[in-house]
Amino acid sequence: MQAEFSLGELAVRFGLTLRGEPSLMVRSVATLSHANAGSLSFLANSRYRKQLESTRATAVLVSADDANHCPVAALIDPNPYLAYARIASLMYPEFRPAPGIHPSAVIGGGARIAPSASIGPLAVIEDDAQIGERVWVGPGCVVQKGVQVGADSALLSRVNLYPGVILGQRCILHAGVVVGADGFGFAPNDGTWVKVPQVGSVRVGDDVEIGANTTIDRGAIDDTVVENGVKLDNQIQVGHNVTIGAHTAIAACTGISGSTVIGQRCMIGGMVGFAGHLTIADDVVVTGCSLVSASIDKPGSYSSGMPTVETRLWRRMVAHLRRLAKKER
């Protein structure tokens, strides 16, 4: 159960302006429409201001502009969503199990596990792996030879780190994540393929979050690199020797082909495909379902996903395109 907090205490702790009774208590978060007594809610976008009117929340995090429309206590901040993130983190602290190694875990020779770390049931820690302070290795994880996991990181469950992978501090890896599988490298040989050994590794920085079933391949020779603060959603594929710049966020199902370098603070939509060997500038936005087939050297927003129309109309668009292209031969 989460603790209770008074509005006065929250205002002081997070530097918010309070308009209302400081002794009012909140003990859960809620959306404006589902809130009830004891709930703290937020309005991040003035577009939804109408929802304020009927909210039953005890208090709402709002911007100064929206505060006048708030029928209940208001906690005012220029960035209500950020304030919400911080307060919710206080009210719902991340679960961390007690330190110790579950008796069903299998620990290899030479593995160094910090005494404050927690190794869950049926986890495997192979030889010479290093597990930092307060790390949580959840049930069914496989941490292979020589892997290093930085302090305060969490491998939530069934995460797989291949040999030699290096993970920073305060990372969160969700279920089914695979880091360090072989990159897709084969040399053609008379209609067959000869495997090219993938002898690089993967280096993941600090404060990186990686979503469920995402895969990050090891480098062919040099390493694949995920810099500090990168946030990856579920089912993303990161090819060998890719670099993802610090604080870039990538939505689900995106695929990045080998050796592409993505800049810092980029925001990449879902199901975007990147060709290989590209360079993408810092501060680039790519909207969902786009194909990035050439390097991008300027910040800005880029797109190519075609939006759906009625199938009947779409058939005509496709036929039309084909006709035009043929005409121009």
Q: What letter does residue 25 receive in the DSSP assignment?
A: E
* Nearest-approach distance from CB 23 to a copy of itself, in angstroms: 25
Whole-number Å distance between alpha carbons of 256 and 278? 10
* Nearest-approach distance from CB 45 to a copy of itself, in angstroms: 11
* Nearest-approach distance from CB 127 to a copy of itself, in angstroms: 10
Do the beta carbons of residue 289 and residue 269 sit within 8 Å? Answer: yes
Active-site option among 174, 240, 247, 277: 240
* Nearest-approach distance from CB 289 to a copy of itself, in angstroms: 4
Torsion sign across C-alpha atoms 173, 174, 175, 180: negative
The two three-digit tokens of residue 21, written as one number: 């009774």
**Complex with a copy of itself: residue 64 or 291, whichever CB lies closer:** 291
Whole-number Å distance between alpha carbons of 2 and 19? 24
**Complex with a copy of itself: residue 135 or 177, whichever CB lies closer:** 177
Please give the helix or strand (H or E) that residue 73 lies within, else none.
Answer: strand 73-76
CA 37 to chain centre: 32
**Complex with a copy of itself: residue 22 or 93, whichever CB lies closer:** 93
Decide the pairing of beta strands 106-107 and 124-125.
Answer: parallel
Q: Residue 199 carries which side chain, given as an amino acid letter?
A: V
b/e map 164-183, b = 16+ CB within 10 Å = bbbbbbbbbbbbbbbbbbeb
Task: Report CA Rg, the chain.
Answer: 24
Q: Residue 16 carries which side chain, given as an amino acid letter?
A: L
* Nearest-approach distance from CB 10 to a copy of itself, in angstroms: 15
Strand partners, 224: 202
* Nearest-approach distance from CB 19 to a copy of itself, in angstroms: 22
Would you call 240 a catalytic residue per the annotation? Answer: yes
**Complex with a copy of itself: residue 74 or 220, whichever CB lies closer:** 220
**Complex with a copy of itself: residue 7 or 42, whichever CB lies closer:** 42
The two three-digit tokens of residue 235, written as one number: 């089912």
Decide the pairing of beta strands 178-181 and 148-149.
Answer: unpaired
**Complex with a copy of itself: residue 23 or 40, whichever CB lies closer:** 40
Catalytic positions are: 240
